[in-house]
């Protein structure tokens, strides 16, 4: 069957370096770090005492106070980012077929803060079983998609993907497929995460996954640098409005880019470590390129997973060299996690927005905080170190890899009407 074309007509972002898409993009273009000492809880006794928090965010500036109290922070972040994307899209809710508009969201963990607070209150309350009646609705990861659909009255497909740090990308891939197969015309998609709390920081720290560069938080996320020592935990949300091309064109929508393909794979290797030769990363990029029906030489920019972990960065670069061959030295590679930190289930969404904005602005955002060359990485690859680079970007690839060996990649293309 002939697949329908899918385009991006709206963007929304709430990130550690900007609370709107424009602010976020300016932060990326200027190489701004969102890392700072933690303010959301007292982290004095933790080995890692910094993170990439969303700054100056009060949910009641956007959501009725009574409703906000029923939501975990990850849902609040989702609602704000989606509202920006909806406004940006110019969609007239009254004029569209709401049965053909759906919500497919992503979150790796969901309401971790809510779960922590309710259990803590139970223990501190003398083990009397008194729980907030909104405990379960606030905690479950799928509730974000539910709230979004209720607000906008979208009655199409509605669910949340959970694949650790690949969740947001998987949500966008599912949205792409549902639209191009004809199951819906419009999708609200993306991801959100809010794990900067005692449980999140403590859990990742105990795995030795986090950087402990407490004396210099802003330089802690340093993908591809020899002295990298782990990722920096972040929080936030990214939202995209995907639309069938003819539907978007008929209403005169502004089109940012076309989504031409998505790939998925599994490492089938280890619950947290990547395959040392990047086997799953190779497969997912090849699957994405095949789905997009393009040659590797057509890719101009790869927004890599690039978490700043010793093993992950090396395996991803090995995979890129294998998949792209000699073209690996002609394209740009960068990790925007060097600025935002790792947003877990929201990473794929905010990084897809970075790839789309790179296409729109002919500018590749940098990998900041690079000081020392890692002998295990090929120095001939253009990692877009420390400063953004002007480049005509017609096709961009975005990689996300998650615990459990989940891999997902998306391909975006400059719109060719």
Q: The tokens 């609370």 sit on which residue?
A: 19
Q: Where are the beta strands (DSSP E) in 372-416?
A: 389-390, 395-402, 406-413
C-beta separation of 169 from 263 below 8 A: no
Report the relative pairing of strands 158-161 and 101-106 from DSSP bridges: parallel
Collapsing DSSP states into helix, strand and coil, what is residue 386?
A: coil
Which residue among 52, 247, 275, 342 is the active-site one? 342
Rounded Cα distance, 65 and 385, in Å: 43
Beta bridge partners of 196: none
Active site residue 165: yes
Which residue among 275, 305, 370, 406 is the active-site one? 305
Residue 361 Cα distances to 296, 331, 358, 364, 411, angstroms: 22, 16, 5, 8, 17
Query: Structure tokens of 7?
Result: 């385009």
Nearest to 186 by CA among 254, 240, 141: 240
Query: Structure tokens of 341?
Result: 């930190």
Rounded Cα distance, 191 and 352, in Å: 11
C-beta separation of 224 from 157 below 8 A: no
Active site residue 52: no
Collapsing DSSP states into helix, strand and coil, what is residue 183?
A: coil
Which residues fall within 8 angstroms of residue 215, CB to CB, at 6 or more apart? none
Active site residue 370: no
Nearest to 320 by CA among 345, 293, 356, 288: 288
How many H helices and E strands in the chain?
13, 14
Sign of CA dihedral 26, 251, 168, 356: negative
Which residue among 165, 247, 370, 406 is the active-site one? 165
Checking 291-297 for CB contacts under 8 A at 24+ apart, the result is 291/261, 291/262, 291/263, 291/411, 292/260, 292/261, 292/411, 292/413, 293/260, 293/261, 294/260, 294/261, 294/395, 294/411, 296/323, 296/324, 296/325, 296/327, 297/324, 297/327, 297/330
Query: Structure tokens of 66?
Result: 């009574």
- Catalytic sites, residue numbers: 165, 305, 342
């Amino acid at each position: 069957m002939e697949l329908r074309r899918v385009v991006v007509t709206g963007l929304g972002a709430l990130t550690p370096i900007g609370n709107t898409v424009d602010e976020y993009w300016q932060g990326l273009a200027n190489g701004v770090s969102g890392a700072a000492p933690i303010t959301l809880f007292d982290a004095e006794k933790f080995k890692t005492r910094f993170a990439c928090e969303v700054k100056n965010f009060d949910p009641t500036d956007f959501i009725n106070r009574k409703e906000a109290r029923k939501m975990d922070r990850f849902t609040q972040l989702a609602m704000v980012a989606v509202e920006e994307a909806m406004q940006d899209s110019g969609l007239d809710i009254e004029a569209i077929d709401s049965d053909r508009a759906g919500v497919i969201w992503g979150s790796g963990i969901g309401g971790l803060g809510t779960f922590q607070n309710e259990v803590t209150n139970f223990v501190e309350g003398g083990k009397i079983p008194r729980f907030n009646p909104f405990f379960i609705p606030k905690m479950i990861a799928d509730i974000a998609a539910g709230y979004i659909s209720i607000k906008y009255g979208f009655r199409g497909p509605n669910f949340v993907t959970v694949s650790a740090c690949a969740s947001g990308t998987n949500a966008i891939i599912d949205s792409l497929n549902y639209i191009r197969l004809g199951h819906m015309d419009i999708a609200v998609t993306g991801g959100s995460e809010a794990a900067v709390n005692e449980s999140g920081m403590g859990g990742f720290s105990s795995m030795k996954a986090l950087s402990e560069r407490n004396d210099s938080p802003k330089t802690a996320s340093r993908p591809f640098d020899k002295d990298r020592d782990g990722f920096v935990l972040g929080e936030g949300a990214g939202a995209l409005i995907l639309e069938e091309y003819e539907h978007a064109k008929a209403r005169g929508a502004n089109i940012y880019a076309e989504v031409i393909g998505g790939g998925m794979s599994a490492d089938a290797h280890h619950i947290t470590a990547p395959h040392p030769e990047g086997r799953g990363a190779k497969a997912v990029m090849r699957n994405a390129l095949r789905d997009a029906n393009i040659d590797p030489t057509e890719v101009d920019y790869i927004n890599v997973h690039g978490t700043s972990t010793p093993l992950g960065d090396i395996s991803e670069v090995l995979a890129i060299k294998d998949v792209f061959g000699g073209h690996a030295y002609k394209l740009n590679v960068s990790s925007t996690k060097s600025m935002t930190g790792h947003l877990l289930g929201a990473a794929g969404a905010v990084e897809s927005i970075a790839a789309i904005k790179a296409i729109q602005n002919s500018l590749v955002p940098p990998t900041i905080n690079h000081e020392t060359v890692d002998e295990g990485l090929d120095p001939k690859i253009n990692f877009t170190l420390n400063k953004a680079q002007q480049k005509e970007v017609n096709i961009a690839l975005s990689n996300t890899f998650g615990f459990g060996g989940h891999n997902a990649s998306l391909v975006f293309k400059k719109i060719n009407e």
